[in-house]
């Protein structure tokens, strides 16, 4: 899917130069930036990431559901 994003001239020039320095493309820079943004906000990037996050939440829920042994009271 194509979307248009507008940059000021200075920012666009710096992004193009960064892409050249890394021997990549502006699209690769955008993909990396958006993946980092999604990760920062806890949104799964792909199916593998979603499954990993789901399994982690499931394991946490199971460990929280286990009954804890009662605390022993000490006599005063």
Domain residue ranges of the chain, discontinuous segments joined by +? 9-65
Contacts 24+ apart (CB under 8 A), 62-71: none
51 pLDDT higher than 90: no
Q: Compute the mean pLDDT over every residue in the chain, rounded to the nearest whole number.
A: 85
The pair of three-digit structure tokens given for residue 71, joined into one six-digit string? 């605390």
Query: How many CB atoms sit inside 10 A of residue 13's CB?
Result: 11
What integer pLDDT is reported at residue 28 of this predicted model? Answer: 96
Q: Is the pTM of this model over 0.75?
A: no
What integer pLDDT is reported at residue 70 of this predicted model? Answer: 67
What integer pLDDT is reported at residue 8 of this predicted model? Answer: 96
What integer pLDDT is reported at residue 67 of this predicted model? Answer: 62
What integer pLDDT is reported at residue 56 of this predicted model? Answer: 81
47 pLDDT higher than 80: yes
């Amino acid at each position: 899917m194509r979307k248009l994003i507008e940059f000021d001239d200075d920012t666009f020039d710096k992004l193009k130069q960064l892409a050249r320095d890394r021997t990549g493309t502006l699209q690769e820079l955008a993909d990396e930036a958006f993946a980092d943004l999604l990760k920062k906000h806890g949104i799964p990037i792909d199916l593998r990431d979603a499954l990993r996050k789901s399994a982690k939440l499931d394991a946490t829920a199971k460990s929280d559901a286990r009954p804890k042994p009662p605390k022993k009271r000490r006599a005063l």
